[in-house]
Amino acid sequence: MARYIDISLDKRGVTCVARLLDELAPRTCAAVWDALPLGSDVYHAKYARNEIYTLVEAFADPEPGRENPTITPIPGDVVYFCFEQWQLATASHGYSAEEQPHRTARTVDLALFYERNNLLLNPDYGFVPGNVFATIVRGLDEVAAASQDLWKRGVEGETLSFRRHDGEL
């Protein structure tokens, strides 16, 4: 039976629904599902292009490892990354040593891709494959428009949240 999650830009009041890809990324889906609800400040990608994401403390033990990886996500892909502290602590990312991503040894990046032509390539250390664990089945156009608004007007005060979907599709 399919499982679904809601992904919301809380301040903007926009929510999309994504189906978990249990058949392609079972370990990642289980880890995320068991940790829900999750969320924090939203960021708009600097290098990957059409991506919004949030950073949360690592929650899986053990980490899911690689499954259903990509470096070229498509619109509607929801992707899980796990970063070591040193990977986010570079000045090019714009985070200071006092910010949340650096307080734990590992940080999870939960990302939503809303448009085409993405490439997960970081100039500091190369390709950054992520686990595609869900696909948006409802509300992609609305979240894409809100994501463009984030890019144009800024992310300050906005949060990205993930929770179990309780309603019908």
**How confident is the model at residue 123, as a pLDDT?**
80
* Residue 14 · residue 146 · CB < 8 Å: yes
Residue 169 counted as domain residue: no
Digit-coded pLDDT (tens) for 74-113: 999 999 999 887 777 666 666 655 655 556 678 899 999 9
- Taking residues 114-139, report their average pLDDT: 94
Residue whose structure tokens are 């809601």 = 6
pTM of this prediction?
A: 0.92
Q: What is the CATH number of the domain that holds 128?
A: 2.40.100.20
Domain residues for the domain of 53 are 4-164
Tell me what the pLDDT averaged over the chain comes to.
Answer: 91
**How confident is the model at residue 94, as a pLDDT?**
61
Residue 101 counted as domain residue: yes
For residue 83, give every residue at least 6 positions away whose Cβ sits within 8 Å of its Cβ, in sequence order, or none: 101, 106, 107, 108, 109
Please state, in angstroms and rounded to a whole number, the distance separating the CA atoms of residues 66 and 49.
22
Number of domains in the chain: 1
**How confident is the model at residue 89, as a pLDDT?**
67
